[in-house]
Structure 1
Amino acid sequence: MSMLFIWVTRRAPGLAMVSVVALAYYVITREAAASGFTLTRTEGDSLSRPTRISFTTPTSYEGGGIWTLIFAYYCLTIHILVSSFPLRSMWSIFDISRCLERTARSKSLKDYKLSHRRRGSFTSLSSSETLTSSKELPSPSTTSSEAGDTETEFVPDSETGVDRVIHAIIIPNYKEEMDTLRETLDVMASHPLARDTYDVYLAMESREQNGEVKAMTIIQEFAKKFRSIDFTLHPSDIPGEAPGKGSNMAWAGRKLSEKYPLSLRKDVIITGIDADSHLSSNYFALLTNMHNSNPETATTTLYSAPIIFDRNAHEVPAIVRVADILWGAAGMSGLYRGSSIAPPTSVYSLPLQLVDRVGGWDCDSEAIGEDLHMYLKCFFALNGNLTVRTIHSPVSQSNVKGDGGEGVKRVYNDMTARYKQALRHMWGALDVGFAMRKFVELWQERKHTTRAFRPLHLALKHPNDSYIKNHFDADPEQPLESGIYSEVITETIKEPDWQRTFLLAHRLFEAHFLPLQMTILVVTSTLYMSVTEGGSDPHNVGWIFQICKVLRTVGLVECALLLFLYERFHKIGATTREKEMQEAGLAKGMCFSHRNLRTNFVDYLTFPLVAPLYGSIPSAQAQLMHFFTNDLVYTVSKKVTRQRAKSFIAEVLS
């Protein structure tokens, strides 16, 4: 691809922003001049005389012409998209809530977890390469994709082969508090499957002072609570890498890849979580069941789950709380049953063989939104035929907090910290350019449905894989059981799914174009109506802007209804988590945020401020900065401190 094309794609959202502003400016100025709109002042003291708006009759009408029509109809299109987005989010929240209720009542799920056999565990205390991969090839399989989710049904262990499924759980962290990591591991260690199937990897950063000592301390504490627990130490001096979760996940993925032979890789599922993520035991139980129940798509499926901020929501300002609610709702908008496009938010799972296929996680500055970026890699690697499934078990998260303080200072610090987090989210607009380039590659390779790949750690030893492609072009029927091809896995995938590709483009537009475009058009359409009010409307577009006003009102009402539907989702998720923690003996001192009428009322009054403050403004800042740099100085958000540890210290001191 040409350098110019790459430059343009990386700045596509910013170029779109500039184009809309330029279009609006041209149309408004031309229409104002053609309508005879002028600003005049009455003679005399300018301080005591107000500005007077007047219209003069132009000798000939020379407005914006066709550009006025383009501006008007584009404005209508954006308003329709904005008003329709909450409808899909509401349906998704409603559907997920129903599934959560059914999952909470599932006797088969409870019996499955209670009856699972607990065996001994082993541990590794090294972050170096300890095992080598076997060169045994699994039988080729045909990948396919399907929408929807399985019901919560379980069959006996002997039939599902639950013991053969290994959950490799990566916890990237940098300067996280020890209590935060301990609490997350305590929650996972309480799961019935933990000692049998959880391989935990603490993904540490070498730039964190004493990070290795920190990891070793935690491993000593939890050595007997998981199938294995290990750590990786991501170097800070790798050329081309940008600091962040993506590069840390990439390094951990390469290291853990060495520990699983080819004969096991199709049943190794990698789950990436944040340091403060609390996952229910239902998460891995449902994940195991879906993997075993769908063998035809087991290696081509990405699993997403809704997120819920139910830990310290009562301790942050209403505007921060609502921002996180709406952010979580946006992430849930694609998780309804039957959805074929379901990008994950923060926490997701995918089989190791799918990670092999796409070459692991990317590490450059474009991959700062590592969850969406990995989804896009998987989507295009499978020609759009990626299977997506929703795990109906909310992932508990903490609201971001500032540096403390009292009163107004505390509110300001929390709001500032949330803005920095929003800027990181909006920096992910770089994924638009990545998707555009992947689409071009998809079109160029649309007739090639045979793909070859190596296990992740072996692929790194062969950075130039052109010989694999050349081999298939020469003789695609030649077996690869020996010689230099003995480590290569070949699979056939379907032809490109153009309908899903179009839907993906729509979702990317919603995420990275719509917030800022809407704000620009609200302001400029209001200016247009002001300068043309009382005119003859020669373009016959006045009705369009009247409809836009109605759609804006409808959108506000829909957001209020979305918050109303969220109440049920939050109640189910928070109540279920608290009950599980009580049964595990971990509830004492742990934070639980239950919503009530008072906080609900304040939230409903606050939500109109969230879109501009944490959507449009950081989006504009990110897109403008992309013209000058793709690198963002990554800062770690402060998480809620473990209350149980604080209570224990208070008791000791007293």
Structure 2
Amino acid sequence: MTSLLNYPFELVAPMAAIVSILLLPLGPLLIPRLYLIFLLIYFTCFLYTQINHVFKFWITASNIKKTIRRWNQLHDSFSASSDNEKNGGGNSASSAPASPTPTPTRERYPTPMNDVDNDDERMNDMETSLKLYDDNHFVHAFIVPNYAEPEALLRDTIKRLANHRNAQTNYVIILAMEASETGFEPKAASLTNYFKDSFLHFIVTVHPSDIPGESRGKGSNVAWAARHGCAEMIQHGVDRRRVILTVSDSDSSIPELYVKEVERTFTQAEEPYYLLFAPPIFFSRNAFDVPAAVRMTDITWSAMVMSNLSNSRGIAFPCSTYSLSMVLAERVGYWDTDADSVGEDMHMMLKCFFKTDGLARCAPIFVPINLTNVQTNGYLSNMHARYIQAKRHYNGVADVSYTLRSAAGLTTDLIADGHKKKYMMDVLKNHHDHAKKSSAYASPTFWFDKLLVCAKVLEAHMIPVTSGWLMFAAVPLMQFILFPPHSMVAIVDPADNPILTSDFYATLWNIVKIITVFLPFPLFGTLSIYEHLHRCVDRELYRKSPAESRSWRNVFDYISLPIAAWMFMTIPSTIACIKRLYKPTDQYIVAEKFFDEESDGDSHSV
């Protein structure tokens, strides 16, 4: 019975893809009047949402720059104060800004210092902030899922964490291996030996490949690693209330600033055990070694993630790398592992939201996580590898059905263990009155939030599959069908053409054509904001030289946008949606990434 009730929700994604394609020729032929009205509504709503995203992206970009500059300013001031004390109150011998991490072996490019207000109030605020940044209370467990990744890449990713100041006392690495990977044992042993003295604990988990009902992928690996890693930490006497889990990709370059901002946000939050901490994603590690279309795809992907984070109600979705408390992970039963949870980052936020009756929220951490673009030998091979990755990413469309089912109350509670429920209630009652909060979220506010979550999930997955077809082809094809270039290809009789026979529909047609002209403008605005942000992050956070960052020459990358949009968005998203009709078991293919420890530009600068 439950499967029959779930079935209509499973049809939403494939029907959106099929209808958007069929409307292109059939709309002008069969329902031209309704089709015109539909196009007007669709394009107007699309333009509004994209303009809204530009403003949200600008807010996120501004907050990222403020966070980076505050971090640099605090450390510059702290360094200058220390130098003055060493010199007996004299001038500092060095004007170069202090690095948030241990001094690298490569040359530093100093960040321009902001003017520092030396009044007492400002200094007191800065001292308070520094104390928050230096908080050693938390234990950070970094889950690093991987499958067939180069050992050098994993070593570099973990080495960046080892360079953080509190790594030996407050960091736990959970290296999540897959049993199906040939030769994972020597790789895990080598990394364990390499980092044996670098962290509080270094835990290796091995996810079996034959668990019934599981779908292969990052989510199932993270779920196994989190359960077993957390159990081992508890055996070592770690207080679960102090543990913050961070899910990391194998190529995630996590700055120390991210960890400190998570701690600061957690400390200052009213309900920290209901928060997921989501940073922006950023691609600059090997961006100049991949085709422009690959580079532009990841830039636009990064921009979409950033705009999503600036939500006043805390309803946003993490991507790739994110953090949450062990308390929250236990409360919701850790990560799901079935085929409907393939997009484990968005799915975990959705699961937390619905399993806590709308209490869970996403807290933005305005510190970008630097990732690696897909890279292989050869131009066409690299394009194909990125296409394969895009197909895997868009399989996350499974969350559409999950979200609609959950909002309708058709999912079952996975937390059936009464003992665990009692423990969780004991933990959370020290932080708020759970009963009052639960009753509050049974109010219309909770229903509004559920509708907002559904709208955001539908936008995230339905816009890619529909906009590519309708934006590029709807107006030109309708123009061709209703106003053919020659009578020999005429399909519609002029007497049946509503644009010719009605002033109202002629006006609608003109408005639709005008709106389509403005549709790309929000994207142009987003990219212009991104260009400035990219330079800021590269030079002020990763301390790269101007030659290592984007320049005016990269404007020519934009020529590849149409190719990137069709090859890495419209086509793979359409395939992913239509596949929901029969839910095949896909082979999990890891995106190939080259890695050279010596040539990675920011390997020591984060």
User: Aligning the two structures, in what range does the TM-score lie when normalised by the shorter sequence?
Assistant: 0.7 to 0.9
Q: Which residue of 2 aligns with 1:550?
A: 514
**Match of residue 100, structure 1, among 58, 64, 83:** 64
Residue by residue over 1:363-400, the C-alpha shift from the partner in whole angstroms, topping out at 9 and shown as x without a partner, is 11111111011111011122223222111110001111
Q: Structure 1 residues 566, 160: closer, same or farther in 2, change over 3 A?
A: closer
Letter paired with 2:128: V
Q: Structure 1 residues 440, 179: closer, same or farther in 2, change over 3 A?
A: same
**Are the equivalent residues in 1 in contact too, given 2:374–2:385 (CA < 8 A)?**
yes
Query: Is 2:457 aligned against 1:505?
Result: no
Please give the residue correspondences for 1:464-479 in structure 2 after superposition, counting only pairs within 5 Å: 464-465=416-417
**Structure 1: which 5+ runs fail to align?**
31-63, 116-151, 405-409, 446-450, 454-458, 470-479, 583-590, 648-654
Q: Structure 1 residues 213, 643: closer, same or farther in 2, change over 3 A?
A: closer
Query: Is 2:464 aligned against 1:515?
Result: yes
Letter paired with 1:520: W
Q: Structure 1 residues 227, 468: closer, same or farther in 2, change over 3 A?
A: closer
Letter paired with 1:365: A
Q: CA separation in 1, counterparts of 2:245 and 2:561?
A: 36
Q: CA separation in 2, counterparts of 1:435 and 1:565?
A: 32
Q: Which residue of 2 aligns with 1:378?
A: 352
Q: Structure 1 residues 243, 465: closer, same or farther in 2, change over 3 A?
A: same
Query: Is 2:441 aligned against 1:495?
Result: yes
Query: Is 2:267 aligned against 1:292?
Result: yes
Please give the residue correspondences for 1:190-339 in structure 2 after superposition, counting only pairs within 5 Å: 190-261=163-234, 264-294=239-269, 296-336=270-310, 338=312
Q: Percent identity?
A: 29
Q: CA separation in 2, counterparts of 1:105 and 1:645?
A: 27
**Match of residue 419, structure 1, among 384, 387, 399:** 387
Query: Over the residues paired in the alignment, what is the CA RMSD in angstroms?
Result: 3.2
Measure how far apart 1:599 and its partner are: 1.8
Q: Which residue of 1 aligns with 2:114?
A: none
**Match of residue 608, structure 1, among 562, 573, 582:** 562
| TM-score calculated relative to the size of structure 1 | 0.74
What is the number of residues matched between the two proteins?
529
Q: Structure 1 residues 316, 202: closer, same or farther in 2, change over 3 A?
A: same
Q: CA separation in 2, counterparts of 1:515 and 1:381?
A: 28
SS in 2 for 1:202: strand
Q: Which residue of 2 aligns with 1:358?
A: 332
Please give the residue correspondences for 1:565-604 in structure 2 after superposition, counting only pairs within 5 Å: 565-579=529-543, 593-600=548-555, 602-604=556-558
Residue by residue over 1:483-535, the C-alpha shift from the partner in whole angstroms, topping out at 9 and shown as x without a partner, is xx999977433414222222222221222111222233343444334433464
Q: Structure 1 residues 70, 467: closer, same or farther in 2, change over 3 A?
A: farther
Q: CA separation in 2, counterparts of 1:246 and 1:542?
A: 51
Q: CA separation in 2, counterparts of 1:89 and 1:571?
A: 21
Measure how far apart 1:196 and its partner are: 2.2
Moved more, 526-535 or 167-176: 526-535
**Are the equivalent residues in 2 in contact too, given 1:171–1:202 (CA < 8 A)?**
yes
SS in 1 for 2:299: helix
Q: Structure 1 residues 645, 307: closer, same or farther in 2, change over 3 A?
A: closer
Letter paired with 2:468: T
Q: Structure 1 residues 541, 382: closer, same or farther in 2, change over 3 A?
A: farther
**Are the equivalent residues in 1 in contact too, given 2:282–2:370 (CA < 8 A)?**
yes
SS in 2 for 1:285: helix
Q: CA separation in 2, counterparts of 1:286 and 1:309?
A: 20
**Match of residue 166, structure 1, among 111, 124, 139:** 139
Q: Structure 1 residues 486, 394: closer, same or farther in 2, change over 3 A?
A: closer
Residue by residue over 1:279-311, the C-alpha shift from the partner in whole angstroms, topping out at 9 and shown as x without a partner, is 1110001111111122x3110001111111011
Q: CA separation in 2, counterparts of 1:572 and 1:536?
A: 52
Measure how far apart 1:95 and its partner are: 2.0
SS in 2 for 1:505: helix
**Are the equivalent residues in 1 in contact too, given 2:74–2:130 (CA < 8 A)?**
no
Measure how far apart 1:248 and its partner are: 0.3
Q: Which residue of 1 aligns with 2:41?
A: 77
Q: CA separation in 1, counterparts of 2:21 and 2:600?
A: 52
Letter paired with 1:378: C
Q: CA separation in 1, counterparts of 2:356 and 2:393?
A: 26
Q: CA separation in 2, counterparts of 1:644 and 1:615?
A: 33
Q: Structure 1 residues 521, 572: closer, same or farther in 2, change over 3 A?
A: same
Q: CA separation in 1, counterparts of 2:4 and 2:344?
A: 25
**Are the equivalent residues in 1 in contact too, given 2:149–2:250 (CA < 8 A)?**
yes
Q: Structure 1 residues 566, 254: closer, same or farther in 2, change over 3 A?
A: same
Q: Structure 1 residues 641, 337: closer, same or farther in 2, change over 3 A?
A: same
Query: Is 2:485 aligned against 1:532?
Result: no
Residue by residue over 1:308-339, the C-alpha shift from the partner in whole angstroms, topping out at 9 and shown as x without a partner, is 10111111111111011111111112112635
**Are the equivalent residues in 1 in contact too, given 2:226–2:334 (CA < 8 A)?**
yes
Q: Structure 1 residues 20, 210: closer, same or farther in 2, change over 3 A?
A: closer
**Are the equivalent residues in 2 in contact too, given 1:563–1:604 (CA < 8 A)?**
no
**Are the equivalent residues in 1 in contact too, given 2:65–2:537 (CA < 8 A)?**
no
| TM-score calculated relative to the size of structure 2 | 0.80
Q: Structure 1 residues 235, 596: closer, same or farther in 2, change over 3 A?
A: same
Q: CA separation in 2, counterparts of 1:565 and 1:605?
A: 18
**Match of residue 580, structure 2, among 612, 623, 626:** 626
**Are the equivalent residues in 2 in contact too, given 1:301–1:389 (CA < 8 A)?**
yes
Q: Which residue of 2 aligns with 1:51?
A: none
Q: CA separation in 2, counterparts of 1:12 and 1:105?
A: 45
**Are the equivalent residues in 2 in contact too, given 1:525–1:545 (CA < 8 A)?**
no
SS in 2 for 1:319: helix
**Are the equivalent residues in 2 in contact too, given 1:340–1:500 (CA < 8 A)?**
no
Measure how far apart 1:619 and its partner are: 1.2
Query: Is 2:13 aligned against 1:13?
Result: yes
Letter paired with 2:271: T
**Are the equivalent residues in 2 in contact too, given 1:93–1:569 (CA < 8 A)?**
no
SS in 2 for 1:350: strand
SS in 1 for 2:362: strand
Q: CA separation in 2, counterparts of 1:310 and 1:289?
A: 26
Q: Which residue of 2 aligns with 1:29?
A: 29
Query: Is 2:599 aligned against 1:641?
Result: no
Query: Is 2:163 aligned against 1:184?
Result: no
Q: Structure 1 residues 69, 306: closer, same or farther in 2, change over 3 A?
A: same
Q: CA separation in 2, counterparts of 1:178 and 1:112?
A: 39
